[in-house]
Structure 1
Amino acid sequence: MSDTDGKKTLGLRGGARPGNVKQSFSHGRTKNVVVETKRKRVVVPKPGAANKAGAVAPLGVGDPSRRPAGITDAEMERRLKAVQAAKAREVEEAAARAADEKARAEDRERRRAEIEAKEREEKEREESLKAKAEEEAAAVKAAEAAAQAAAAPAEPTQARPTPNRGGPLPAATPRKNERDQQARPNRGREEDARRSGKLTLNQALAGGAGRQRSMAQMKRKQERARQKAMGGTVEREKVLRTVNLPEAIMVSELAARMTERVGDIVKSLMTMGMMVTQNETIDADTAELIIEEFGHKVNRVSDADVEDVINEVEDKDEDLKPRPPVVTIMGHVDHGKTSLLDAIRKAKVVSGEAGGITQHIGAYQVTTDGGQVLSFLDTPGHAAFTSMRSRGAQVTDIVILVVAADDAVMPQTIEAIAHAKAAKVPMIVAINKIDKYEANPTKVRTDLLQHEVVVEKMSGDVQDVEVSAHTGEGLDELLEAIALQSEFLELKANPDRAAQGAVIEAKLDVGRGPVATVLIQAGTLRVGDIFVVGEKYGKVRALINDQGARIKEAGPSVPVEVLGLNGTPGAGDVLNVTETEAQAREIAEYRQKAAKDKRAAAGAATTLEQLMANAKADEDVSELPIVVKADVQGSAEAIVQAMEKIGNDEVRVRVLHSGVGAITETDVGLAEASGAPIMGFNVRANASARNTANQKGVEIRYYSVIYDLVDDVKAAASGLLSNEIRENFIGYATIKEVFKVTGVGKVAGCMVTEGVARRSAGVRLLRDNVVIHEGTLKTLKRFKDEVPEVKSGFECGMAFERYEDIRADDVIEIFEREEITRTLA
């Protein structure tokens, strides 16, 4: 655009120009897009448009006619202020940068001065130490010279004459010292550096970082120089030590305990005819000879000494305090043991047990109306739980023998009596179910006489009480009998010592980990105590009583669940509290090693003849392998014992693995490799184990009653038994004449003299009452017809399969075989 004078005015150059842009998308797709681009407006002021301050005024401020269209005075004023503010910021930033640079320069100067001062200080210290070392060396040399001068006139005849070829050489010693200094130019510097006790940067860069003498070596050198200056060498006095010697020890370890050189020990062993190295192990007898040869004392120790920290503590009489009695309820299955305890506890435990039978040892505490506290243990009565009853009798003070009045003495009753007598604990007979019509308490007392249990009503010393768990009759008399017996026993324990207890039951609980039911026998177990139990150890994380409540401590005769173990212990193991976790771990590791060695020794203690005999016996015995997983240790133990009793000379049950806790993939893998089913007792398989079992075709069976498990395994084992073959004789025939038939062979003309002859039956050929052939018939004919059977008194023709040595007057015995399925008793 131009004005009337033909001059151009300020305006926009060029408008929007079209252009192409290439857009990129995913998967390599592109697209061309048409866009419009605009040029940036450039404002160029004309020369001479400067203001009074010497600055170029923005376009249009001084001359409104040259101001761009649409720009007001206020906008132009705002733009001017923005330009001035930008210039002011630039000036401030330049000043700040200059100040920062000046501060950095000052800092560098200060650091340089500090470094120089420090170097000067180190140099002065080194010079002073060097001067001090030279003074000490001079003093040592003076002492040596004085000693040599004192010793020279005392031994003039012992001096060896030396030929003097070139006259005396008074400077020989200095020349030798010079040679030593030339050969070792850095020795003095290194010793000075070691004496200084500090390695500087300059020394390291100057080559002083090589191998240097230790402070102990420097001290030994000074000691030798001092002894030499005093008039001769003095041997260092040998330190005699008491060496703890285990059953086997490594040569290097023996040298370390004796503080002798390993080479000396190896050399001494070689003189004894043993070519060993420092990493080999020698027995205790050989090591004892070496120790005595070097003058040390021997203290023979054993690996079992680690258990000395838990030795029995002898309690003083003044420390003993009364404790509640531990009462164990025992008897035959279904005689009412748990129901009797329920009546005492006023609880319902039977309803919680599968099948109404107790399959675990239950531990409870009961407070009587008189305020006396009693600890009860309820044991199972099934035949498989023999070990549980044995454990219950071993940790108890009083045994209550429950006998049903309508059933009298039964096998597990006799077993419980034997356990109580073996444990030497007093017994109280509770004759239960007296409310029944067929109850006969007199018969119970009479039957007990056969097992040397004489009750008071039979003029004996064993208390007997007639009770009914259903009606509650006689319960008060039973509690009085227990109180009387416990008072007579005078039960006491020391609660102020390290706790000791017995594991009644153990299990692997999901969420809580290994849990052990422990009956505290002495001392007090507290939260935080470190303990060892069998081959396991741990720290008490929580204590839970029989009511399910958490407690902080448990005293004598208190049953509690202990949490915090590193594994599931064995039922019957003893719990002992230790001072440190290291002691508990060491004891547990020793016990694990001892158990492993014992199992290995039991497997290796067989001769070649025994191995051959066992291998031959195994060929004739069929095995049913199974894997057992149970909820608690006692149940697993009882199942394994029950499986060992199943079988005979032909078949047996082999438990590949038994454990506590849920069925895992490892169990499934073991079962799949050996073709065994998995028996789960009150446990289930986790999700991964179930999927693996389905894929590999491993059978998993779940049980909640031990009866069913034992019966199923017994039935499966019976399937491995070969069927019994039984022969039934059905008839006799006598050969009258022998015919030779073309295409058939010899045919016997017979008369059936007894029973019946059948085509499908087996036959034996008897000659003079001696069996000469046994087989089957090829043909049985009546005249010319093939018949299935011929009765007594009729004639028939018989031909044997693949046998023709038949004669007249031979007798044919006819019999049938019958297969009978066998089962395990």
Structure 2
Amino acid sequence: MSDSDGKKPLGLRGGDARPGNVKQSFSHGRTKNVVVETKRKRVVVPKPGAGTKPMGAGGGAGPSKRPAGISDVEMERRLKAVRAAKAREAEDAANRIAEEKAREEERARRRAEIEAKEREEREREERAKAKAEEEARAKAEAEIAAQRAAQAKAQEASAAAASSKRQQTQSSAPAANDQTARQAPAGGPKPSSAPRKNDRDNRDAARQPKNKNQNDGRRSGKLTLNQALSGGEGGRQRSMAAMKRQQERARQKAMGQAENREKIVREVKVPEAIIVSELANRMAERVAEVVKSLMKMGMMVTQNQAIDADTAELIIEEFGHKIVRVSDADVEDVIDSVDDKQEDLRDRPPVITIMGHVDHGKTSLLDAIRNAKVVAGEAGGITQHIGAYQVKTDGGTVLSFLDTPGHAAFTSMRARGAQVTDIVVLVVAADDSVMPQTIEAIHHAKAAGVPMIVAINKCDRPAADPNKVRAELLQHEVIVEAMSGEVQDVEVSAITGQGLDQLLEAIALQSEILELKANPDRSASGAVIEAQLDVGRGPVATVLVQNGTLRKGDIFVVGEQYGKVRALIDDKGNRVDEAGPSVPVEVLGLNGTPEAGDVLNVVDTEAQAREIAEYREHAAKDKRAAAGAATTLEQLMAQAKQSENLAELPILVKTDVQGSAEAIVQAMEKIGNDEVRVRVLHHGVGAITESDIGLAEASGAPVMGFNVRANASARNAANQKGVEIRYYSVIYDLVDDVKAAASGLLSAEVRENFIGYSKIKEVFKVTGVGKVAGCLVTEGVARRSAGVRLLRDNVVIHEGTLKTLKRFKDEVKEVQSGQECGMAFENYDDIRPDDVIEIFEREEIERKLD
């Protein structure tokens, strides 16, 4: 750039710049010279005294390589760090190489060990195989030698017999003997040739498996994983049992023995219907053979189809077996019901139930006995929760008490067949005397047939009068010892503890009289006192063991439930391993909650327990679903007509006043003859209660109410349990009904009147209705309220009622003959064209007494 431009020339700072000219080109060919400055390269001259060793030589860096502002000490330190890092890297690389080499040596050593083990195992298998073959060969040779010796001995015996015979013949007829001797080589037996031929055959048969060309089906070599997964060597391998059977057949064939299999005749249990494969399994026959026999009989069935018992009987007889017909109820035969031997029985504690009127001191008496005879701390909440506990008297007798909630539970247990109580303690307040529930308790105890002990409680009160209690008990046929009777009575007080020892002694004395015994060495059986569903433990049942010993791990069935004993908890809250007779325990491990009074039985397998529980569940459902499952007078009459052994007709009577009750009871005693009589189980004054329903259910009796009614709980219980309640206001009507039921003349005759027939022409599907049959009434009339039967090929396939009867689009009551109509069956849709509908009406004709 020139100075004439008035601008400062372009330059670089510093003294090392040199001026120069540069020619700059523009567009349209214009150029311009520009003055620029070029910077010279700076040359660094080492200072005097600086290190002369090169970089990385151990003496530091040269001045030209050192960064600016770094001292010699810092540079030396950095160099040392770099050298140390390089040394560590070299050492790590050496270590890695050494470790890799050690690992490679370890792998080689392991491979050598594995190969040695495999080689040793193969050698051991080969030795074992050779040894087994040698033993089999030696055994076969020994058997052949024994057979050969036996044959030689037999030949020698026959030769000796022939020689003696020849000698006798020679002595009697020399000429004939000579002729026989000359003919013997031509046509007679050759004793020496047969044994040699048999020996050659046996040796050839023994050597036959050694033939190289024969394939005996054995697997050669070691089985590898790939062969096992891919089914190597031709797929499925033969089992050891199959090879043993083949060897046995070959050995018998080599020894000339015929394979004679004796037919095993089995007893085959057959229910009402059985699957074909199951039938073959029970006969131990091949399924294909059974199916083949059925096809020969004209039945094209598969192995998964069911056949009836009659067809199964034909098949079983064809195969040479014996049939044993069983029913569904036979599943309960596995429950051990064998009578115990007298020498196996042991004494057991008695089971006592305390009953009585409300507020007469039952709970207080229980608490007093528990506090007096049970160690403190053992009678906590678990004893109340379990509802049963044991007490040991001063004399050493163990007593089992049941804390039942009331008479209803006591009776429901007896209704289910659980007779758990041995002794009943009747608690009567000395100041209140006999009350209605006291009378009920007396009747319950008498119906159960268990002895009673009367505990006259509250004797510490000033108004107590025990003699009044004894006198009033006489009216109900309870004669205590103080009145020269046989029923023990004890005056007690739950507050002061008076008479508790005498009460326990009386119970112990009564148990000695009863001589209660059980066999602890058999499968356990017991009764459920109560059951509940615990949130943390599941279904829990309080069981009183009656016979045998219940152990942890036992499989049992109880009512409609089953399970396996997971834990046993005694009345003190402790876990125990077993429980003997008359011992109450809580049982854990049920699959559901049973009902109070259900009987527990121990079985062998879980399959048996499940089968019994399912059968009981189905039976209970059928019983609940059956129409007429209630205990009615008609059923009692039918039972009286069908059974010649029915001697009593039980009933319960509740009246408004005592006089009416006495009059009805006297009238009932006059009904009957040598075959039937009426027995009044219980009569009382007042409304019909739930306790009366429970007693009626247990005894299978109806309840007769005279000028009284049942309360709400009693009506609900009667509907649930199927107990009939009849109300009367005239004694003669009650007497006539009972007399008719006892004589069997109360039933009504049912007569059917056929009113028409119709034929199905078409079948239509109607939304909301289902299948509707388009019919033509061929005879008589079709009525909406009548009963109908569906006939297919003159076979009744359904009987029921009509859901709808329409003429065109209108619902009608009846359709005359010759008209078309639409019909739909109630809860049945299997209708087809050309089916015939039979229409009928039922008429009941009452039978009257002569």
Report the TM-score, using the length of structure 2 for normalisation. Answer: 0.49
Report the TM-score, using the length of structure 1 for normalisation. Answer: 0.50
